Structure 1
Amino acid sequence: MKNRPKIIIAVIVLLVLLIPVPIRYKDGGSVHYRAILYDITKYHQLDLESETGYNDGLKIRILGIPVYNSFDE
């Protein structure tokens, strides 16, 4: 029973580190999910010069290090 409070505290800390907060941009529908350990940006920007009218892409960073980037700025 002594380990139970430690486990509860560990679960709460993990939730705080892993649950993202969404930030929505007014550029056509881009969303930035930001947590303490990682952040993910799903781009959907208006672009009148492209064929579809939008620029789409995805950028993933873990601990501030870029892991994946399919968006060309």
Structure 2
Amino acid sequence: MNELIDIPTALYNDEAVCFIADRYHTTPQKVMRCFLVQAGLVPDTEEEAIAFHLENNEIEILRGLTYCSHT
């Protein structure tokens, strides 16, 4: 679980990621961080506490985007 997760920079500019970020009044980077925490891919640390919770459909959208970016 100490493995580094590399999020492609282009993903931060994706229309869906930006839409979700706007919805929560946050940055695309924080949306992706929240996704990684909620998906159980990285631990939630107190110093980087997430101030919002993604809905299931948003997680599925982001899961699809991250899967497509690695294939």
Tell me which of the two structures has the higher relative contact order, counting C-alpha pairs closer than 8 angstroms and 6 or more residues apart: 2
Q: Which has the higher strand share?
A: 1
Q: TM-score scaled to structure 2, two decimals?
A: 0.26
Q: TM-score scaled to structure 1, two decimals?
A: 0.26
Q: Which has the higher helix share?
A: 2
